[in-house]
Structure 1
């Protein structure tokens, strides 16, 4: 019997404990696209991160033995799913394994931006002389304010629950009709209506042709003056240029981002703006979440290979 081969394109926490039986492990050590095309040849299964495109060139390079592609993420915007389907390749994800971690990071970003925590931290570290002042580093309080949640999948739902515990008034527009709302969440039927009531807006929709730069200048202008935007979904859901324009104009009080239009490139206007909080796509970066993601996607790869 021909040995089945799983090619990994990244180091994964928890891997030695959960590797499916009957799969020989191969690792791509990095390099240019050509080296990946050579490395994937003869693979039965492929596991990539959200940074690695899976296109027809990669599928052809793998050969007819490739049966399943797994992604260490919930989104599949980096995978040509139709091309995989035509080739008889199943696509599996780590969906369901990272919602609590990303929700916690979302609330952390929201707090950091609203309460100017990063800005204040830098000030203290600068060694500047200071004393307590009643008007120093005034920020926005979450309690009693309105949070708009765009998308109520696993992550958006967890964010809504946590925001309710903070005493926020939570409004939401589900990405899919018929999505159940957590108790206490106020539903909306249209995006503009959600924007108008959102003192804070957090984005939790997948990147699709319909959501590509969905949150544009016109919609951002609908937010109340002084609103804060948080994005832990995909960078291109938000029009980054429009965000910068409205930050510069003062319409938005701040932005907290974990994802960007052209990762890992972050424009200097964002990096240097005093009211932005920026993290390098680490929403799910807890030991528990990453190990759970590894177990979930490899279990699904094994199940797909077993039919």
Structure 2
């Protein structure tokens, strides 16, 4: 590599990469392996593009050397990046924020429907080969129309969820996690979490993982939900106290939970996997071809812009 070339290390194969690559960047891909192999691979890089699987800490920053100017993440959240350490080293951090909002919102509503209408349970029953006939009380679930949805966090994803829920005829309540966030039409605002919990027949979480939101939704708040409520989480696993969730599912206070993220990914507790009223997916909220290509384009565009400054 010549002195004028700038190296971009990628830690994953990304859809749409050739079309989105900024001019003047020479891509290289880490082929995987242990942490030591990543520390060796990053040496001499001008830019680094990681997924949520690769923590970016001071060791990785030192291994990259003084030429590292920008770290991009193929995600919205930055909880796997020591942002303060990057700032001290003069390294910008950019994300794919905004590009995945429609896909994650769709997945959120899909999980909500699957749990409320017991779709996964019914699918398993049919596949079991058991005899059945139509019955008036078989697999009765909860209807979305006319029910109240609580949205915690009104960033790009939370806003898209609120709009889609309104189209289902739901009464949408919300607590923005940033002051001054504009509300979508018809959304009823709340000033505190307890107030939001008390009106939420369904609760969906859309806040970043920070020290302030770690286990934010704990047992005391979950018990404020109306009996029979359903909880959906497509944000970050540690925002929700899984142990408290399991306890209230077992007690019957909650009617179900639909999760795409977990406290200790990829580990999912057996109690969650065995529970008949949980719907579980493996962190695939943004997993559409269109969203992943848009994420690639967004984060690479921001890497390119950072390098031009």
Distance 1:119 1:5 in 2: 49
String of CA shifts for 1:146-194, please: whole Å, max 9, x gaps.
0000000010011001101100010000001111111111110000000
Distance 1:223 1:208 in 2: 23
TM-score normalised by length of structure 2: 0.98
String of CA shifts for 1:237-269, please: whole Å, max 9, x gaps.
000110011011110000000000000000000
Distance 1:180 1:301 in 2: 28
The Cα of 1:52 is off from its aligned counterpart by 1.1
Distance 1:44 1:223 in 2: 48
The Cα of 1:47 is off from its aligned counterpart by 0.2
The total of aligned residue pairs comes to 306
User: In the alignment, is residue 255 of structure 1 matched against residue 261 of structure 2?
Assistant: no
Gap regions ≥5 residues in structure 2: none
Taking the TM superposition and a 5 Å limit, the aligned residue runs for 1:142-291 are 142-291=144-293
String of CA shifts for 1:89-125, please: whole Å, max 9, x gaps.
0100001101110000000000000000001001101
Gap regions ≥5 residues in structure 1: none
The Cα of 1:20 is off from its aligned counterpart by 1.0
Distance 1:249 1:29 in 2: 46
Measured on the aligned residues, the alpha-carbon RMSD in Å equals 0.6
Distance 1:299 1:138 in 2: 48
TM-score normalised by length of structure 1: 0.99
The Cα of 1:46 is off from its aligned counterpart by 0.3
SS at match of 1:270: helix
Distance 1:77 1:84 in 2: 13
SS at match of 2:223: helix
Distance 1:245 1:34 in 2: 40
Distance 2:46 2:296 in 1: 18
The Cα of 1:11 is off from its aligned counterpart by 1.1
